[in-house]
Each structure stands twice: as C-alpha cells, then as structure tokens.
A and B are shown apart, each in its own frame.
Chain A
Amino acid sequence: MADLDTSSGGGHKKGPGVKKGKKLSTRVDLTPMVDLGFLLITFFIFTTTMSSPTVMNLAMPKDEVKNDELTKIKESGSLTLILGDKNHVYYYEGMDPSKLQSTNYSKLREVILNKKRGTPVDDLFITIKPNSEATYKNAVDVLDEMTINDIKRYAMADLNDTEKFVVNATEKANTGQ
C-alpha cells in the first residue's frame, strides 16, 4: 500500500548497450521504528503507577468513657501487642506483662493465628500498643494484619507504666547480649 510502483510501466525494452537506470526502491524499512515504538510503550507502562491510593478505615474510642461502657475482655482471650523500636514487637497473653515475649513483623501473623486458634471467636481481643519509638508504618502494618487475619475485636491504646517498665527492661537485656 505504502509502496509505490517504480518500475517503468509496460514491457518497453531498452536496446543493448543502453545502461539500465538503477531502480531505487522507495520502500523504507520500518522495523527500527516499530522497535522504538514498542520500546517507548514498554517504558510508559512500567513507569506509570496504575494504582491510585486507597484508604484504610480506623475507628478510635472516645477518651472519656463511663465505667459501664468499657469493653469487657476475658483474660484468656486477650493478646497485647507492644510495638517497639527497630521493628521489634513484644506480646503477651492475658493480663500479665511480665510474660512478655519478643518477635518481629514477619512472624507476627503466626503469633496472632496461634492465639486465634486457641481462643473462642467471641473472646479474642487484641490490644495494640505502639510505644513512642514505633513508627506510623508499624502501626498501619499491625492494623492491616487485623484485617488480613479477620480479627473482629481489636483496639489501640497507650502503654501503661508496668508495660513500659517491662519493655524497657527487655530492650536493655537484648542490647546487653
């Protein structure tokens, strides 16, 4: 279609000794251009971030609640996660912070699932307590973990003094090793 017929039409034969004019094709090899086109397409596809940001919902409780409005938690169903610095996570079951154990974010799911398996659904309650060294990413990661593992009841809270003390002691012991 794009090629032009350059042959001089008809079967007109030149006599002997008459030099043939060299036929120059007007056909252009478009292969490199196609290469270039696809290269650019690939480039654009890879550099475009298709995903638009999403939002994650978070509900927080009121600070001032009456005593009878407090959520009752069974001791056996309670799991407290304390988010420390340098991506450390500490956790303990029940109400005794001295039973603190340490883990990290990659093993956190295991911990949550273990607790979930051993607890009736309605009793399970996870308390998330980020300390002052935890990052925003840590908090979001843990909240995300709640969604991933389908935990129905969880809350965010601040550390109490006992917990602060125990976490400090644990961190000291860890760095001393």
Chain B
Amino acid sequence: MGRAKVARKSTFIDMTAMCDVAFLLLSFFILTTKFKPAEPIPVTIPSSVAAKAAPLGENSFLVTISGQGKAFIELGEGEIRQNILDEFEKLKNVKFPPAAREAFLKSDLIPTSYESLSQYLAMNAEQKKKVDLPGVPVDSSGGELKDWITAGLVAYGNDTKKIHFIIKGDNSAKFPVFSHVITAFKKNEVFKYQLLTTPEGVPEGTELYNKHMKGIKQEN
C-alpha cells in the first residue's frame, strides 16, 4: 500500500536573525545610555508635576541642600568656575594660591567656608570621600552663600538668564535651611528660583490634568 508521504519539516527555526536584532538593540541601548555623574553629595530630590527641563550644564549654579541641612554649591563646567572665583576673590579681598585655583577649576563642589577651601582642594579623591564636609556657611542673614551668589551675579552682569541658579534640596532637609538659602538669594535681589525635581504624573481628574487633556500648555 502506498501511503502518501508527508514531507517532514524541521521544527528548527533559524535564530540567527533574531539574535542579531537582540544584540543590535542591546548595543544601541548601551551606547545611548548616559551615565549619571557621581554625585558628591547624595540627595534625593522631591517630585513635582513641573515639566520644564532643568537647565543644568554650562552656566549652572546649583545650591544643594543635604538631608543634614548643610548647603553646598555645585558649579557647572566651563568658564563659570573661573569667573566666579575671580569675582569672589575681589569681593572678599582674598587670594587663593595658584595650586588651589587650579584645583578649584577641576572641582565641581564648594563644600566649606572659603577659609578652609584650599585645604579641601588640596586633598586627593580618597580623602575627599572620607572627610565630613561642613557645607558653605548659611544662616538667617544669608551667610557666605550670599557672597558666592553675589560673585556669580557680578560675573554675569546681574543677568539671571546667563547664570542659572537652581536649588536642589533633599526630601528630608528641614525647611529653615531652605529659607536661609532663599534669604541668601533675596539679599542679592534674586526673587525667582528654580527648584530641581523629578517629574511625576499629573493625578487624574485634577484641574491641571483636564487642562492637559484640552491641550493647554503648562505655564512653568
């Protein structure tokens, strides 16, 4: 009896193409990922519905408030460090030694009062990690932070569009420190601030949500 032969097909699927795709995607993701630069001061920032991208970058003047209530200044890369240092020296009538100046241009953080700044700058990376940073002095009258802000303003001709003042506060920082930082800005006639936050979704059913649904753009 002749039985009709059914051609046996192999169940083997060629995975080569799929493998290619998988690794292509993988390499794409790896290459496009920008690593977050290591933060000298670990801070968890609050979330908000604000949608404006942070102008972090060249001329940013970031005031960081740590959870312990200390204030630090982080300067963006580029000329801003040089400019601010020059103005600060003029303002306080001090001169930093050349070695400290050079280190300052490479360091993004001002973590102490200016008296002990050269000492901090002279440390190597290992020591910097271990040391307990006291923060830039700031109190109800503005403290030294006020002078750094003045230096920043003078260096950029009082134009807050050229120098971006941003406040980055830790969730658990107490309010008084924040208000001291604000005071330091107020004494320099700066009344508009930008608070760094992580984006969060707008809760459904609220007015802002309805606005977004209608396509009205958020003002800030």
Binding site for B on A (CB under 8 A): 1-3, 27, 29-31, 33-34, 37-38, 40-41, 44-45, 48-49, 51-63, 83, 109, 130-141, 143-144, 147-150, 158
Complex-state Cα separation, A37 to B220, whole angstroms: 41
Q: By the criterion CB–CB under 8 Å, are B29 and A44 in contact?
A: yes
Q: By the criterion CB–CB under 8 Å, are B172 and A37 in contact?
A: no
13 A-B pairs within 8 Å (CB atoms) are namely A29-B15, A37-B22, A41-B25, A53-B197, A53-B198, A55-B197, A56-B197, A57-B52, A57-B193, A63-B186, A135-B171, A135-B175, A148-B209
Q: Which residue of A lies closest to B36 (CB)?
A: A49
Complex-state Cα separation, A87 to B52, whole angstroms: 27
Q: Choose from A33, A61, A138 the contact partner of B175 (Cβ within 8 Å).
A: A138
Complex-state Cα separation, A3 to B10, whole angstroms: 14
| Interface residues on chain B, number (Cβ under 8 Å) | 59
Q: By the criterion CB–CB under 8 Å, are A54 and B51 in contact?
A: yes
A28 → B minimal CB distance (Å): 9
A23 → B minimal CB distance (Å): 14
What residues on A are CB-neighbors of B50 within 8 Å?
Answer: 54-57, 144, 147
Q: By the criterion CB–CB under 8 Å, are A139 and B12 in contact?
A: no
Q: Choose from A55, A130, A134, A138 the contact partner of B54 (Cβ within 8 Å).
A: A55
Is B134's CB within 8 Å of the partner chain A?
A: no
Complex-state Cα separation, A24 to B177, whole angstroms: 74
B200 → A minimal CB distance (Å): 8
The interface-forming segment of B41-49, B72-80, B86-94 is B41-49
A60 → B minimal CB distance (Å): 5
Is B154's CB within 8 Å of the partner chain A?
A: no
